Chains A and B, each alone.
Chain A
């Protein structure tokens, strides 16, 4: 397994991002979004709908070059991304979808990844034969298969039932802990944010800005229910104070 670059640092400084609105004027989406993430840190972005979280992730992933500011990724950084929708190739099996982005992956590693995500029985299935939960797991497997230096997760557990969501969340935590990788996670679930993140960035309504940051020093695996509840209260209090409510 390839270790991620030890000194890797992700620096994000988005001064401004705007969309062209239908009336002809510009709609400001992001403003002065500045943060850095050290190697292996999991930064969670929490904020109201439409505050530009997905736009920010797209900029960091290099999918949207139309913004003012800069994003400095570690040199030759490999990106793994889980989109809101699984974005699997419908004409390729589960196995081949993962191999599409990671053609050099060993059978041993692929099997291990499928075992963690409980996809072993579905390797030969086509995406059309999978439930949404399974398809999301394949998308997660695909993102980890490339051994990313930066992992971008855009609401990976959205629209799943609570039990399945908790299960995949624990699998995600296990994967992140098995190989530390700089991770950006966008979520509307405070529980998910607190259980997965090292730092929680609270974002304002549009134009999105980072209005507060909560650092969680305790390792993920060591956090118990009372820790989670305490951190949630802190973040909720901060959200109320800032008038930023995640919806």
Chain B
């Protein structure tokens, strides 16, 4: 209820701001909604949203998989941590734009270059978060599993992953928001489709309504994923905490 009220307030504030500065500079919510419907009817909206979502999914999966594996090893092995830490610091502080531009220069304006560049931007974030989780693993549970000779795979699945779950969730949530932002830059700079490409094209024509239409559609998709996928998954993974509380 409070959330709906909050959304309502946002729309009202938007409308008020539109009246204040004029529809040319800030189109009203109804105008933007009309543009969304028109783009959807033409099929362009779904084409571009689909392309962006596919890039997000691939680069996010790649970064999370690699980042989790590297972060886990770094958290458990001090030598590996010391060896890889300087690389991690460099990657953490490298601007996203530099990585994207270099990827396009070195690998061409290809899909692989775009996805790779987005994944590299997200990777250090996942590594750092999972490394903290791996450092915080409870050694007494590890000993218990070791005494009972529990096979490595079962140990990983039932002892390690549940302990890492809050860190993975935090990494996924922050990572997803990071990837959403970076993917648009990558599309703007070197892809022939996607929300970023469309926003770039609209910018050339100073078409603010279309920019907002795509931004709004994109935000709705992100919010839906958060509400329908991320939050239920998080609740399921932490159900034992709720019951124990």
Contact = CB atoms under 8 A, between A and B. Distances in A.
Interface string A123-163: 00011110000000000001000100000100000000000
A63 B143 CA distance: 7
A89 B141 contact: yes
Tell me whether chain B's interface is mostly helix, strand or loop, or mixed.
helix
Interface string A87-120: 1011110000000110100000000000000000
B148 to A, nearest CB: 4
Interface in A54-87: 61-63, 78-81, 83, 85, 87
Nearest to A148: B148
Interface residues of A, number: 24
A184 to B, nearest CB: 13
Nearest to B162: A91
Contacts of A152: 147
B150 A126 contact: no
B159 A128 contact: no
B11 to A, nearest CB: 41
B140 A85 contact: yes
Contacts of A128: 240-241, 243-245
Nearest to B140: A87
A78 B149 contact: yes
Interface in B119-148: 140-141, 143-148
B154 interface: yes
B240 A126 contact: yes
Contacts, number: 54
Contacts of A101: 145, 148, 150
Interface string B158-187: 110010000000000000000000000000
A59 to B, nearest CB: 12
A74 to B, nearest CB: 14
Contact of A100 (B140, B158, B244, B245): B158
A100 B146 CA distance: 12
B148 A81 contact: yes
A128 to B, nearest CB: 2
Nearest to B165: A91
A103 B148 CA distance: 12
A89 B146 CA distance: 14
A87 B144 contact: yes
B111 to A, nearest CB: 39
A126 B140 contact: no
Contact of B148 (A80, A90, A129): A80
Contact of A79 (B149, B159, B241, B245): B149
Closest 6 pairs between A and B when the two form their complex, measured CB to CB: A128-B244, A101-B148, A91-B162, A87-B144, A91-B240, A126-B240
Given A126-B243, A142-B148, 19 more contacts: A62-B146, A63-B143, A79-B147, A79-B148, A79-B149, A81-B147, A85-B140, A89-B158, A89-B159, A90-B240, A91-B162, A91-B240, A92-B158, A101-B150, A103-B154, A126-B240, A129-B243, A129-B244, A146-B148
17 contacts: A61-B147, A62-B147, A63-B146, A79-B147, A83-B140, A85-B140, A87-B140, A87-B143, A89-B158, A90-B244, A91-B162, A91-B240, A101-B148, A103-B154, A126-B244, A128-B244, A129-B243
Interface of B: 140-141, 143-150, 154, 158-159, 162, 240-241, 243-245
